[in-house]
Amino acid sequence: MKILYFFIIFPILININCQLLPPLPALNLSFLDQSLALIFPIIQNFKNTITLDPFGVTQSWTGPDICNYKGFYCDNPPNNSSATSLASIDFNGFQLSAPTLDGFIDQLPDLAIFHANSNNFSGTISSEISNLPYLYELDLSNNQFIGTFPMSILNIHTLTFLDIRYNLLTGIIPPQIFVQNLDAFFLNNNNFIQKLPDNLGSTTAFYLTLANNKFVGPIPRSIGQAPNLLEILLLNNLLNGCIPYELGLLKKAIVIDVGYNMLTGPLPCSLGCLESVEQLNFAGNLLYGQATIITTPLNEFVFSKAIQRNKHLGIEIDIRLIKFPAPKNDLPEDSERPAAAMMKEPLEQLIEECRPNCLITDMFLPWTTDSAARFNIPRIVFHGTSYFAQCVGASIKRNKPFNNVSSDSETFLVADLPHEIKLTRTQLSLFEQSGRRVDCYPLFHQSSDP
């Protein structure tokens, strides 16, 4: 979709020397077109309500040459090609303050475009704007509008672009807005509080932004039917329930962001069908995949308590136990028979049965790499120490910077880290210093090898 901004500014044919004319009344001014004479007092009245104009744009709003006022653009109206009237207003970034737009834009009958991003207009949005027969772009974003969603917008059948984000609007948005022929609908950063309407998927919009409000309830399943959606932003609301399978039907969507809600459940496999997606965000939700924890009987209670805590959130985690033949003790006493040999077979039986996508195991279970490889799945290693410590250790092992200093107290730099980390030889363990493999650490070395 393209949003075309079409400003045709008509050359002013009549040369009026403003200085020679009295400023008011309008009767004595010579206007390019009768329609401009009619809106002259409306603009002047609005100008008188402006309380702040930091860039002095309203200084140009004098005299009959309305088409050259800063922010005002003329064109011939659709129903009379020989007339000239006010077709569009672009106040973007003017930072004007006024208590209301009532009596202004709703009284400009030929207005097709009104853009007022980043001003300080307040009050409610006039219900009279539905009287504007040609209005197709309305941008009131980043102002101080209060009140509820302006229902009169539902009666502007020509509207294709509606941007009311960054205001103080509250209440609910009417479901009918989703059957209006909008190309773009932005209402993020307001205070709308409601369940998302079930007919949301009826929208013809290419861009739909509902982020940073207080929408609750599930993402409607109808979303999959939205024919045009390229970007849908639902982040930072209070949405809950599972992510609907139908989200994966948005074949054209490039950006889907439902982050920072309270969505739960697993990611639907339909997401694999998103053909065009470039940004997909589910962060900050309560999602889970099906997980199974494998442990030994004595450790079961450690996990079962935590699992129990999350059950009410609908998070189901299985525990499976690997039993040892040793009757009294958990792990085998018999040091001649390494635990690995005894656990490998039952673990692989479980992998065979559960068919996981990956295996996450403790660093001291290096042999599980082979088990994972047998089933062609990755093994992710869990290290109790921090990632930082791992990086320092790996760098020292690789670069042996301790060989480069003349005393135990001289510092050396740990290479390849984003920050400058300095150590002395005395801060290293013996086996790190020697670079040798100390006999009591074979398992450690095995587990830290890639």
Q: How far is the CB of 83 from ligand NAG (least distance, A)?
A: 3
Contact between residue 148 and residue 172 where contact means Cβ atoms under 8 Å apart: yes
Contact between residue 174 and residue 198 where contact means Cβ atoms under 8 Å apart: no
Total of residues contacting ligand NAG (CB under 6 A):
21
- What are the angstrom distances between the C-alpha of 177 and each of 17, 173, 238? 48, 8, 21
The whole-angstrom separation of Cα 378 and Cα 217 is 36
Residue closer to ligand NAG, measured from CB, 13 or 440: 13
Instruction: Extract the tokens encoding 359.
Output: 């295996």
Q: Give exposure, 3-26, as e/b (b: 16+ Cβ within 10 Å).
A: eeeeeeebeeeeeeeeeeeeeeee
Q: Does 82 bind ligand NAG (CB under 6 A)?
A: yes
Q: How far is the CB of 401 from ligand NAG (least distance, A)?
A: 4
Q: Name the residue number minimizing CB distance to ligand NAG.
A: 83
Contact between residue 326 and residue 298 where contact means Cβ atoms under 8 Å apart: no
Number of Cβ within a 10 Å radius of residue 384: 8
Q: How far is the CB of 335 from ligand NAG (least distance, A)?
A: 39
Q: Does 133 bind ligand NAG (CB under 6 A)?
A: yes
Binder to ligand NAG among 12, 26, 42, 83 (CB under 6 A)? 83
Residue closer to ligand NAG, measured from CB, 95 or 434: 95
Per DSSP, 197 falls in state P
Residue closer to ligand NAG, measured from CB, 83 or 394: 83
Contact between residue 446 and residue 440 where contact means Cβ atoms under 8 Å apart: no
Cα–chain center distance at 419: 31
Q: Does 92 bind ligand NAG (CB under 6 A)?
A: no
Q: How far is the CB of 24 from ligand NAG (least distance, A)?
A: 8
Q: Does 93 bind ligand NAG (CB under 6 A)?
A: no
The whole-angstrom separation of Cα 427 and Cα 405 is 13
Q: How far is the CB of 45 from ligand NAG (least distance, A)?
A: 19
Q: Which of 303, 447, 437 is nearest to 384 (CA)?
A: 447
Binder to ligand NAG among 95, 290, 349, 426 (CB under 6 A)? 95
- Give the CA dihedral 50, 52, 56, 61, nearest 10 degrees: 0
Tell me the pairing of strands 72-75 and 85-90. antiparallel
- For ligand NAG, what does the binding mask look like between residues 18 and 57, x meaning CB under 6 A? ----x--x-xx----xx-----------------x-----
| Collapsed DSSP state (helix, strand, coil) of residue 294 | strand
Q: Does 64 bind ligand NAG (CB under 6 A)?
A: no
Backbone angles phi, psi at 54, to 5 degrees: -60, -25
Contact between residue 128 and residue 106 where contact means Cβ atoms under 8 Å apart: yes
Residue closer to ligand NAG, measured from CB, 189 or 361: 189
Binder to ligand NAG among 93, 109, 174, 175 (CB under 6 A)? 109
Residue closer to ligand NAG, measured from CB, 135 or 239: 135
Residue closer to ligand NAG, measured from CB, 53 or 300: 53
- For ligand NAG, what does the binding mask look like between residues 389 and 418, x meaning CB under 6 A? ----------x-x--x--------------
Binder to ligand NAG among 30, 45, 59, 79 (CB under 6 A)? 79
Residue closer to ligand NAG, measured from CB, 19 or 386: 19
- Give the CA dihedral 3, 255, 163, 57, nearest 10 degrees: -70
Q: How far is the CB of 31 from ligand NAG (least distance, A)?
A: 10
Tell me the pairing of strands 238-242 and 262-265. parallel
| Collapsed DSSP state (helix, strand, coil) of residue 203 | coil
Q: Does 150 bind ligand NAG (CB under 6 A)?
A: no
Question: Which residue stretch of 73-81, 238-246, 255-263, 345-353 sits at the interface with ligand NAG (rule: CB under 6 A)?
Answer: 73-81
* Footprint of ligand NAG (CB under 6 A): 22, 25, 27-28, 33-34, 52, 77, 79-80, 82-83, 95, 97, 109-110, 120, 133, 399, 401, 404
